[in-house]
Amino acid sequence: MHGSQLPLRYWFIAVHLLTSTKKSFSACELQRQLGHSTYNPIWAMLHKLRLAMGKRDAEYTLKNVIELDEGFFSTAIPEEEKSKPLKRGRRSQKKSKVLVMAESIPVEGKVTRGGKPRKVGHIKMFVEDNLKAETMDEKVVRYIKRGSTIDSDDTTSYTNLKNLVEKHRPKVIPKEDVGKVLPWVHIAKSNAKRVLLNTFHDIQPEFLQSYLNEYCYMFNRRYFGEMKFDRLMVAAASYKNEFMYNIE
C-alpha cells in the first residue's frame, strides 16, 4: 500500500473481494465495481496483493507424503516468439511449464468424503523456464522437508530426488491412471486451469506465477473462513513492495 495514490478503501475492498470467493477476481471487474476511471492502477494493485500471497506461502515447506508433477498452462505467445512457427504439444509457445507439489496423506483403510484414498494438505505451484533435473532439485531442497516421501512419475527430471528426501517412489503412470496415482496434483492442476480460463483472458507468461500465487494461497487457507481477510491484510503489510509497475 505504501506509495499508492489509490484511496485506502480500494485496498480493503480488493482484499475483501479476493478472500470472499472461491474463484479469482479480474481487475476489469474490480475497476467496474469501484467506478475507477483507469484500469492499470487497479490491475497493479491486485498483483501487489498476489505478490504478498506468494511471499507468505514461500515461507512454508511441505512435509510427509508429497505428490510431484508438472503441468502445462495456456498463456499468450511471448512477443519474441510470435514470428516463429507455432510448435505443438508441450513445446508450444502457448504453453507455460509449471511444477506442482501437493501434500497427499494416505487415509488408512478408508477414503475421504470425496472418494479419494488420500487427503490433501498444502499445495505449491512454480512457473519454470525448464523442467530439467537441476530445476526440480532446487525446488525440492527449498520447499520439501528432508524427511518426506515423494510420489512422482518416472521421468528423468526426477532421477536425483532419492538423494534429497527420505524416500522417492517413482512410477511409470499411464495417462489414464494419473488421477488415481497422483490424485491431488491432478485435481489442483485441473481446477487452477479452469479458474484461470473462466476469469482471465490471454495471460502473459510473465504474470502466470502471480495468478498461481493467488490460487495456492486461497487453496491452502480454504478452511479459514472470515479469517482469510485478516490473514491477507497481515501479509500485505508484512512485505516490502517489489512489484515492477507503479500504481499512479
Per-residue pLDDT reduced to its tens digit, 32-65: 999 998 999 999 999 999 999 999 999 999 999 9
CATH number listed for the domain at residues 65-77+90-208: 3.30.420.10
The pLDDT of residue 243 is above 60: no
How much is the pLDDT for 118?
A: 76
* Top-confidence residue, 220 or 174: 220
Query: Which distant-in-sequence residues (6+ apart) come within 8 Å of 142 by Cβ?
Result: 61
Burial of residue 211, with CB atoms counted within 10 A of its CB: 0-12 exposed, 13-18 middle, 19 or more buried: buried
pTM for this entry: 0.89
Q: How confident is the model at residue 246 (pLDDT cuts 50, 70, 90)?
A: very low
How much is the pLDDT for 232?
A: 95
pLDDT tens digits, one per residue of 137-182? 999 999 999 999 999 999 999 999 999 999 999 999 888 888 788 9
**Distance (Å, whole) CA 168 – CA 159:** 9
**Distance (Å, whole) CA 81 – CA 176:** 32
Extract the C-alpha cell encoding 142.
527449498
- Can you point out the beta strands (E) in 61-116? 65-74, 95-106
pLDDT tens digits, one per residue of 106-134? 777 666 555 666 789 999 999 999 999 99
